[in-house]
Structure 1
């Protein structure tokens, strides 16, 4: 979460300070399903675009990778318990305005770790957000906010991963009724892949859903145009493919900061968990220029981890009401994954200091450090050793790091060994 300032005095809080946890009433947290935006039903808008544009699925994009990653032979930065990973190419290591945030893998998508259902691909997805102000002064270095992009990483050969970026968009209609799309200008702080659906957190509103069976091929010639242009062509800021939003879940209960998301395949049924970022261990719901969906809480609160059940038959939430909510007095939570009542957190400390993988148990009193993570650690994704098609001898947790020239996607052993 690059926009968060670094407080040097807090360095030792990663491992030295206990993070107290408590169970709270889960029924106060709820979401409401939404199949439309102000331009119409998502399905109808996608159908309209499909008349104008070639439609492809995720497998086609994976097979069309156009960049090469660099395999990691050892732990990046200060990380421990290293299992596997890679670094981006030079251009993506150095670009200032695209910042990696979320990570999920085909071990989230399907239980055997392979994509699609019945397929054989090993895939990693990473989300990025566009930063218009790269040095936090008053001037915008890159005033055209291009929103969020998603990277499909072909990991079938871990020694030579390849990848391709696509633009995340929301389908719309123009003032004259033509089908088009707009960039999604959000933080992309966490993602979760479940079946053919990609969940992306919307910090102030809830969850955005994207159907990986429905991507569109667009003209890559124009790098500063998105959607239907006056020349009759469709562009996606220079990308070959765009992935269009297909559904949404808006927060409907007590305010919740949707900072990051994780899938829990150990629970029954499968479930998703949301965690909240805070700068100092107290979550503020008074961000200037932003409005939260839902109901105002009584005051500023300790960060929460909140769980919703999932329905594996349609890959959507199985209930609008949360089934578990706990607080954890931990600042700078950047990622969460859970295994039943055991929760893992990634915790960051700025641009020069290692992060940490921490864990606590629902109803337990404190969190403990499992292993050091790379500088600038972000989202997490659990990869079970039980994933028969793509498994490691031990369960691992994937992480992504965000800072320029320190950008890695890597897995650490979940027990810290």
Structure 2
């Protein structure tokens, strides 16, 4: 995630509200109240300490409510194609990792790398990962941000069929994310693509500065792939272009922070995760913070540790965020006490929503198991326990596998030593 995402912001003086606890963050269990440290004025943070319960009562997201209009804008582009149709038209193959090509990872079970062109391209950088089921296929979706600026192609996703991880390769295809702007036209999604979460037909993506964008997997459209379209986006004469990509996935709405919400309440949406534990499912969001160009408002006297983690409730009937009068409030919030966090996944072997895995580029690459009741457990790349440059994660609901995508070390294409990979480990091995 380092790069364009790490926009420099003003350094805010961190003032912890005396007695800041659980107000506005949903009901707390007795265990949370007993175990969760509470912020006090100018409290120093400690790397690796338990999650600190945070008062997020000031924060909210508003539904832009463009669900119908955005979809209608795409009607003239062509028929809506669901994800099953794309899974029948995968055009790239990512070789399966082997005993000699996979990176070190505690509990490693399997994985794949991208094809040679995607392993080496400096234009597109892998960021987030989510997974789910489409028909009879198990599917992983990975986002990539565009590293160049002229033009800014925004974000693309890779749809990969991971149903048979004993095969020789994983088949996948890239799609370009777009935002409808008017009837029959669309533009790029100029974001970092740092987080994904998949519920039903909706793909949630982190919008770093403003909130969460939502894309509808039933609204995928095919566009023109002629040479003339390779440098164009949107309507071009009688056809539609997407920089040469065959398919576009349109945004249908977004949940945004009102402009009236300012720092320190205003947060960043650096990464996302999917949490199906408890009676209400949730989308997780968190802040990337470091001790350099990306400080956070709640860092206290220890820069880099004040990143916040939020749990946003999902309406299981609609797969949209659970809104009251168009407003969504976080159900839980924590200070992570960890720097350089790039991804999150719920600890599916735990029933309460108080424990998580955090993916971090701290120490060159790390997996942290964190909770409100205990100091972290760390799996480090320097100790051959985790790959370098890990990014987004997804924990399967069965509590079996933990999937991760890596950004890759710049200039390295060997998957065993820092090249870009998608892999999974046994959840119990890192529990």
Written as runs of structure 1 = structure 2, the 5 A alignment for 1:168-207 is 168-173=177-182, 179-207=184-212
CA contact (8 A) 1:199 1:209 kept: yes
Query: Relative to structure 2, which stretch is displaced further, 247-256 or 198-207?
Result: 247-256
Q: Deviations over 1:222-253 (max 9, x none)?
A: 21111011x22100110000000011001245
Aligned to 1:247: 253
Aligned to 1:358: 368
Select the structure that is richer in strand.
1
Q: Deviations over 1:297-350 (max 9, x none)?
A: 99988111111111110001124111111112211000012242111101114x
2:423 is equivalent to residue 410 of structure 1: yes
CA contact (8 A) 2:296 2:306 kept: no
Aligned to 1:238: 244
CA contact (8 A) 1:281 1:302 kept: no
Aligned to 2:143: 127
Shift in Å at residue 18 of structure 1?
2.6
Please state whether the residue corresponding to 2:206 is helix, strand or coil: strand
Specify which of 46, 51, 62 is matched with residue 32 of structure 1: 62
Q: Distance in 2 between matches of 1:156 and 1:146?
A: 30
Aligned to 1:102: 128
Q: Deviations over 1:11-49 (max 9, x none)?
A: xxxxx953453111132222111123xxxxx52342232
Q: Distance in 2 between matches of 1:45 and 1:302?
A: 36
CA contact (8 A) 2:296 2:307 kept: no
Q: Distance in 1 between matches of 2:151 and 2:293?
A: 32
CA contact (8 A) 1:281 1:303 kept: no
- The 3 A distance-change label for structure 1 pair 55 and 327 is same
Aligned to 1:68: 93
Q: Distance in 2 between matches of 1:311 and 1:96?
A: 39
Query: Relative to structure 2, which stretch is displaced further, 301-310 or 367-376?
Result: 367-376
Aligned to 1:151: 158
CA contact (8 A) 1:168 1:244 kept: yes
Specify which of 274, 281, 288 is matched with residue 285 of structure 2: 274
Shift in Å at residue 365 of structure 1?
5.2
Aligned to 1:321: 329
Aligned to 1:217: 222
Q: Distance in 2 between matches of 1:416 and 1:82?
A: 9
Q: Distance in 2 between matches of 1:195 and 1:284?
A: 35
CA contact (8 A) 2:202 2:319 kept: yes
Aligned to 2:18: none
Aligned to 1:391: none
Shift in Å at residue 197 of structure 1?
0.4
Q: Distance in 2 between matches of 1:341 and 1:2?
A: 27
Aligned to 2:33: none
Please state whether the residue corresponding to 1:27 is helix, strand or coil: coil
Q: Deviations over 1:256-280 (max 9, x none)?
A: 1101111111222111211110122
2:398 is equivalent to residue 378 of structure 1: no
Aligned to 1:137: none
Please state whether the residue corresponding to 2:103 is helix, strand or coil: coil
Written as runs of structure 1 = structure 2, the 5 A alignment for 1:304-315 is 304-315=308-319
Give the TM-score of the pair, scaled to structure 1.
Answer: 0.80
Q: Deviations over 1:57-116 (max 9, x none)?
A: 11111110000111112473332211121000000001101000010111xxxxxxx32x
> Which ranges of structure 2 fall in alignment gaps of 5 or more residues?
7-45, 348-352, 414-418
RMSD: 2.5
Please state whether the residue corresponding to 1:242 is helix, strand or coil: strand
Query: Relative to structure 2, which stretch is displaced further, 62-71 or 79-88?
Result: 79-88
CA contact (8 A) 1:170 1:183 kept: yes
Q: Distance in 1 between matches of 2:105 and 2:321?
A: 34
Q: Distance in 2 between matches of 1:282 and 1:45?
A: 36
- The 3 A distance-change label for structure 1 pair 180 and 85 is same
Aligned to 1:331: 339
Q: Distance in 2 between matches of 1:346 and 1:89?
A: 24
Please state whether the residue corresponding to 2:218 is helix, strand or coil: strand
Q: Distance in 2 between matches of 1:398 and 1:281?
A: 29
Aligned to 1:49: 74
2:360 is equivalent to residue 347 of structure 1: yes
Please state whether the residue corresponding to 1:26 is helix, strand or coil: coil
Give the TM-score of the pair, scaled to structure 2.
Answer: 0.77
Shift in Å at residue 402 of structure 1?
1.0
Aligned length: 357
> Which ranges of structure 1 fall in alignment gaps of 5 or more residues?
6-15, 37-41, 107-113, 133-141, 287-295, 387-393
CA contact (8 A) 1:276 1:283 kept: no
